[in-house]
Each structure stands twice: as structure tokens, then as C-alpha cells.
Amino acid sequence: MQISGSMIPFILLAFILISGASSAHTENDFLECLSLQFRKSNSESDSIYTPLNASYSSIFQSSIRNLRPASKSGQKPVVIITPEHESQIQAAIYCSKKHGIQLKVRSGGHDYEGLSYISQTSFFIVDMRNLRSISIDTEKNTAWVQTGATLGELYYTISQKSKTLAFTAGVCPTVGVGGHFSGGGYGMMSRKHGIAADHIIDAKLIDANGQILDRESMGEDLFWAIRGGGGTSFGIVVAFEVKLIVIPETVTVFNVTRTLEQNATQLVHRWQYVADKIDDNLLLRLFLRSINSSGKRTIRASFTSLYLGRVDDLLIIMQEKFPELSLVKEDCTEMRWIESILFFAGFQGRSLDILLNRTQASTRYFKGKSDYVKQPIPEYGLKGIWKFLNQEDVNRAELQFSPYGGRIYNISESEIPFPHRSGNIFMIHYGVGWSEEENAKSGRHINWIRKLYTYMARYVSKSPRAAYFNYRDLDIGMNSIEGNTSYKQASVWGFKYFKHNFRRLVHIKSKADPTNFFRNEQSVPPVSPW
């Protein structure tokens, strides 16, 4: 048959209508499947939200921290389920397979690229918010934490049980346990105690066959993979058991700020020779921004720090190892560890139960990236960074320098999938945010951060240029939408996040989920490199 030019739009339209109708058909079948399975397991369908339910939108948006991913093209979930029992997750997996609707799992919703809540294909969300119980064993110093819990809920719950137990994980209280622990988990105690994933001792995982596995039944390979390799490639983690850490009853915090006029360049330069080597009990994190100071642009470096001990001991260490900062007693505050959580979250002086609030004050458009630094950046290199920061609008962009060393160095690269150990002085986090009104011009901010990243290439790790999995960045490579990503294609981003551990992750994935049921834009593919 000859197709005339004028027929093409008609054929296209017909195709769209038919495929639209058939996907709606599939979606209805999927929904029916879910309702039926839920009824079979005696659970009500009040944990199933379709776009017809009044609260669908608020449930969808409630844990979104970054407006950028959802503002791009992409589909909204066909259904959001908020399981209260494992049987509902098993039902979701069964129906997802049967009707070919992609499953995405969301715990705290903080994924930088929105991979837990948007997709390019027809999909639904298993939102873990109702599975968030936390039980602490103060005799064994352990805790079982369901993945829908937030870091704030975990920290709060521990603090109610003990003055000397704590956990080492991230700073932002609304981050979810599910994504954070399975992807690493760096925080203010990481030099002394390592990252969250270093402390996982057991887990409850639901695999692609709907089986509920623990450490023993999943085996050491799979258990290795979900401690830093991202849960999302391997199954749905329902809970982690972690070893808690012992801390002193009193800790000391300070947040000392220096501008260029106060020798910030020299201090930041010097910091690179100190930050990973100083006493393990001390973590000096650096935040860098461009500010207006009496009408003039300058760089503000904030040395935001936690010392696991008393102020007098801290001052002795600082006097000996970093006298240039001129830290004085008045800069420091002694407090309980849980109060330091409020301090670093910007909630100093508020009541502790603010840690239980899962709603963040503001959301905005955001792009983040990461790098690892193995050799100190020279002063002229830092000045180049200041130029970039001064190009962006005041208070839109921030760099964080997070020091490594201590316990992080003492663990081997292959102990768990998180490979960034000895030899990394610090990690850089690049961030730029913008508002709704500005979104039309968002290309400007994204270009800015990409140019800065290009500039930084000469100062950071190479072959691979490493990146932190929890600061997810699709600029460094992604899988094909069809789900048939090759090993070679995935290893572009895979080696950056996991170095040589990527091979083992692929090997484990090939055994645990050979059909690639659990997948997203940056999930480990199940093809063998051998």
C-alpha cells in the first residue's frame, strides 16, 4: 500500500489512540490484580491510591525533595501503594510481573534524580512510608529499622532509649533509611565510625519471586550487594538490622566562618592537609558559598564540625593540628549527641520531636554532583572554584567538602560495594538550587554546574572519575529505557560509583534477578562480564 503524505498524521493518531487504549487496558487489569491480591491477603484496598483518589497527589508529592525530575517529561505513577504488610509487597511484585507495569520503590523520596518516583514508562510506586517501625535492643546495641523510617525517626528513637548509643548516617533528618543505607550513608561521625552501610548486620529483603529473605537465606553475596550497591537493583528491602555505636554523653560542635578577606583561601588549602589525618573523633566539614558582604561578592567558608568529646580536648587538638583556624572556646558548644543532630540540621534550640516531622519546610529545583579528591587542590585551583561560585546568583550554589580518613580508610575497598576508602582525602558535593519562578531558565544553572564539573576534572580522581552513588547523577551515564542495557554501557556509570565492585554486583544481579525485574535508569544490569 502506498501511504500518501496526508495519511501519515492519521495513521500516527490511530496508533497513539490504540496504544493509549491498550495501556489503559493493561493498567486496569493491573489494578484489578492488585485489589484481588490484597483481598486474598485480607488487607483492605485503602493503601491503593489511583489518580482518582483525592489524596493521590498529596501522597505523590509529600516526600519529593527535588522538583526538577518531576518537572521534566516523564509519567506519573499509575498507582501508589503504601503497604502495611509484606504480603502487599508480594502482591505488588506478582501483579507488576503479570501485567508488565514497572515497579519503583520509594522510602524517603530524596533521590537526586527522582528515580524512586518518576519513570519514562508505565509504572507504579511502592511507597514504604507505613513500614517504619524501629526496635532498639540496648543489651546487644542493635536496632531493626524498617526502611520507610527516616533518619530523624531513627535518631530520635535511639535517643529516647540511651544517652550513649547512636548511629552513624546522614545529616538531613527527612532522608529515608531505604535509599540511604542501601547506598552508603555518610555523616558527621563517619571518620570515627564509618558509613551507615558498614554497620548493617542483617536485612529483610523481598526478591523478584516474592520470597522474603534474611541474611542467612539470601546468602552472603546478595547481603553484600545491598550494603552500598543500592537496594533497588536487587529487591525491596523491608528492614535493616544495624549495629549501634557507642558515643560519649557530651560532644562538642562548632561552625566557624571565614571569608576571603579573612584568609579563606589559605585556610581551605591548609584544611586539605589536615582534614583526613586529624584525630578520628573530629570531623571538620566545609561548606562553601558566594555571599554579598557589604555589597561586595566574597566566598564564605564554613567549617562545620563535630568532636566526639569535650571542648578542652578539642581545643588542644586544634591548637596542635590546625592553629591557622584560630578556634576559640567561645566558638564551641558542648551538648548531647542528639542535640548535635538538631544543630547540623539547622534546628538548634527546637524540641527534639521536630525529628519526627517528615515534611520538609521547602522544596525547590535542584541539581547535584560529586567528586573525590586524592591530592590537595592548589590555591590557584581553589581561586578558580571561587570564580565559578561568584558567577552564580548569591546563595544558589554550594560546595561541600566532606573529609574521609579514620574508620573509612580502615575498611577495604571490597568489604562492601561502597569503594571510596583509603586515599580519598575528601568528597566534593556540588549543588545548585533554584525556584519555581526561575525554572524556565533552569538550563542556566545546569550548564553552570556542568561547566564547573568540567573545570574540576584536573583536580579530582581519574580512571574512573569516582562518584558517590547516593548523590545520584544521570549525567555520568544511564541505562537504556528498554531495559536491555549492556555491561559495557552500564559500566560507564557503574565503575564511577563502585569501582571494581561493579563486576561483582553484575555477577550477583545475574543470579538474583536474571530477568532484570528490578530496574531503573541506573540499576545494575544482569549480564555477565565473563
Ligand X SMILES: *[C@@H]1O[C@H](CO)[C@@H](O)[C@H](O)[C@H]1NC(C)=O
Ligand Y SMILES: Cc1cc2nc3c(=O)[nH]c(=O)nc-3n(C[C@H](O)[C@H](O)[C@H](O)COP(=O)(O)OP(=O)(O)OC[C@H]3O[C@@H](n4cnc5c(N)ncnc54)[C@H](O)[C@@H]3O)c2cc1C
Tell the smallest beta-carbon distance from residue 369 to ligand X (Å): 21
Q: Based on CB atoms, which residue is closest to ligand X, 333 or 439?
A: 333
* 8-state DSSP, 414: T
Distances (CA, A) of 345 to 129, 150, 283, 340, 430: 21, 14, 16, 8, 18
Rounding to the nearest 10 degrees, give the CA dihedral for residues 453, 456, 457, 459. -150
Catalytically annotated residue among 112, 307, 471, 497? 471
Beta carbons within 8 Å of 53's beta carbon, 6+ residues apart: none
Query: Nearest CA to 415 among 241, 200, 236?
Result: 200
Whether residue 270 contacts residue 322, with contact meaning beta carbons closer than 8 Å, is answered with yes
| C-alpha span between 249 and 334 (Å, rounded) | 10
Residue 154 touches ligand Y, criterion: CB under 6 A:
no
Residue 501 touches ligand Y, criterion: CB under 6 A:
no
295: which 3 cell numbers?
A: 555589597
Residue 99 touches ligand Y, criterion: CB under 6 A:
no
Residue 515 touches ligand X, criterion: CB under 6 A:
no
Whether residue 208 contacts residue 518, with contact meaning beta carbons closer than 8 Å, is answered with yes
Residue 178's binding partner among ligand Y, ligand X, none (Cβ under 5 to 8 angstroms by kind) is: ligand Y
Q: Based on CB atoms, which residue is closest to ligand X, 34 or 218?
A: 34
Residue 484's binding partner among ligand X, ligand Y, none (Cβ under 5 to 8 angstroms by kind) is: ligand X
Strands (E), 294-420: 296-307, 332-335, 365-373, 397-403
Q: Which of residues 112-131 bind ligand Y (CB under 6 A)?
A: 112, 115-116, 128
Residue 65 touches ligand Y, criterion: CB under 6 A:
yes
Distances (CA, A) of 492 to 157, 225, 254, 488: 40, 19, 40, 7
Cis peptide before 417 (omega within 30 of 0): no
Whether residue 276 contacts residue 425, with contact meaning beta carbons closer than 8 Å, is answered with yes
User: Of residues 2, 4, 6, 359, which one binds ligand X by CB under 6 A?
Assistant: 359
Q: Give the type of residue at 272.
A: Q
Cis peptide before 403 (omega within 30 of 0): no
Residue 110 touches ligand Y, criterion: CB under 6 A:
yes
| C-alpha span between 381 and 376 (Å, rounded) | 10
Q: Which of residues 361-390 bind ligand X (CB under 6 A)?
A: 361
Interface mask toward ligand X for 469-488; x: CB under 6 A: -----------x-x-x-x--
User: Of residues 285, 407, 499, 509, which one binds ligand X by CB under 6 A?
Assistant: 407
Residue 162 touches ligand X, criterion: CB under 6 A:
no
Q: Based on CB atoms, which residue is closest to ligand Y, 231 or 464?
A: 231
Tell the smallest beta-carbon distance from residue 509 to ligand X (Å): 16
Strands (E), 87-184: 102-106, 123-127, 134-137, 142-146, 165-166
Q: Which of residues 247-276 bind ligand X (CB under 6 A)?
A: 255, 257, 262-263
245: which 3 cell numbers?
A: 555505636
User: Of residues 410, 422, 447, 528, which one binds ligand X by CB under 6 A?
Assistant: 410
Choose the stretch contacting ligand Y; rule: CB under 6 A; options: 165-173, 254-262, 351-359, 485-493.
165-173
Residue 111 touches ligand Y, criterion: CB under 6 A:
yes
Ramachandran quadrant class, 61 (left: phi over 0; alpha: psi -120 to 50; beta: rest) = alpha
Please, what is the end-to-end C-alpha distance for the chain in angstroms? 48
Size of the site for ligand X (CB under 6 A): 30
Residue 232 touches ligand Y, criterion: CB under 6 A:
yes
Q: Is 471 a catalytic residue?
A: yes
Tell the smallest beta-carbon distance from residue 410 to ligand X (Å): 4
Residue 355's binding partner among ligand Y, ligand X, none (Cβ under 5 to 8 angstroms by kind) is: none
Query: Nearest CA to 90 among 23, 145, 40, 53?
Result: 40
User: Of residues 19, 75, 120, 292, which one binds ligand X by CB under 6 A?
Assistant: 292
| C-alpha span between 115 and 109 (Å, rounded) | 9
* 8-state DSSP, 436: S
Residue 482's binding partner among ligand Y, ligand X, none (Cβ under 5 to 8 angstroms by kind) is: ligand X
DSSP 487-521: HHHHHHHHHHHHTTHHHHHHHHHHHH-TT--S--T
Choose the stretch contacting ligand X; rule: CB under 6 A; options: 126-134, 356-364, 467-475, 510-518.
356-364
Residue 203 touches ligand Y, criterion: CB under 6 A:
no
User: Of residues 5, 73, 220, 295, which one binds ligand X by CB under 6 A?
Assistant: 295
Q: Based on CB atoms, which residue is closest to ligand X, 46 or 320?
A: 46
Residues that bind ligand X (CB under 6 A): 45-46, 48-49, 52-53, 192, 255, 257, 262-263, 280, 292, 295, 302, 304, 343-344, 346, 357, 359, 361, 394, 406-407, 410, 480, 482, 484, 486
Residues that bind ligand Y (CB under 6 A): 65, 104-112, 115-116, 128, 147, 170-172, 175-176, 178-180, 182-187, 231-232, 236-237, 470, 520
The residues annotated with a catalytic role in the active site are 471
